[in-house]
């Protein structure tokens, strides 16, 4: 047997704002809100499906260091350029981490500065 990734946990200052952003990016919904303010988002089918859920965990001072893990996303219903426009309109910002300009992906930041990449290849929706 093996393990599956079931949840990703992201420390953040404003779980509600990031929940709105990532729900729009990933077509997720809010699944649960904890007493401490943590918000779990995921596919409408809920926890345990093909995709992991994301826990947005409130903290006053998220670690400012470069994270050792980041999220990569792929468009499912449009080309990369159109998806880039959509993500920027949702509040993503370009991030400069030393790219050459020849990459086939775009490095972005969510509204709290968490880096993620928009890859070129389109994936089939789940």
Q: What is the pLDDT of residues 90-101, one digit of tens each?
A: 999 999 989 998
Q: What average pLDDT does range 80-108 have in this prediction?
A: 95
CATH number, domain 1-59, options 3.40.30.10, 3.30.1600.10, 3.10.180.10, 3.20.20.70: 3.10.180.10
The CATH code belonging to domain 70-126 is: 3.10.180.10
Burial of 16 (0-12, 13-18, 19+ CB in 10 A): middle
Distance separating alpha carbons of residues 20 and 49, to the nearest angstrom? 21
Q: What is the pLDDT of residue 5?
A: 87
Q: Do domains 1-59 and 70-126 have the same CATH topology?
A: yes
DSSP calls for 61-77: S---SPPS--EEEE-SS
Domain ranges across the chain? 1-59, 70-126
In this prediction the pTM is 0.88
């Amino acid at each position: 047997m093996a393990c599956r990734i079931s949840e990703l946990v992201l420390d953040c200052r404003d779980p509600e704002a990031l929940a709105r952003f990532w729900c729009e990016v990933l077509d997720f919904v809010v699944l649960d809100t904890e007493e401490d303010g943590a918000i779990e988002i995921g596919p409408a089918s809920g926890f345990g499906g093909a995709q992991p859920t994301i826990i947005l965990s409130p903290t006053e001072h998220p670690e400012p260091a470069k994270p050792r893990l980041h999220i990569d996303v792929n468009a499912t219903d449009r080309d990369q350029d159109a998806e880039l426009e959509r993500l920027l309109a949702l509040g993503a910002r370009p991030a400069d981490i030393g790219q050459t300009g020849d990459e086939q992906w775009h490095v972005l930041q969510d509204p709290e500065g968490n880096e993620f990449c928009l890859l070129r290849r389109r994936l089939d929706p789940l």
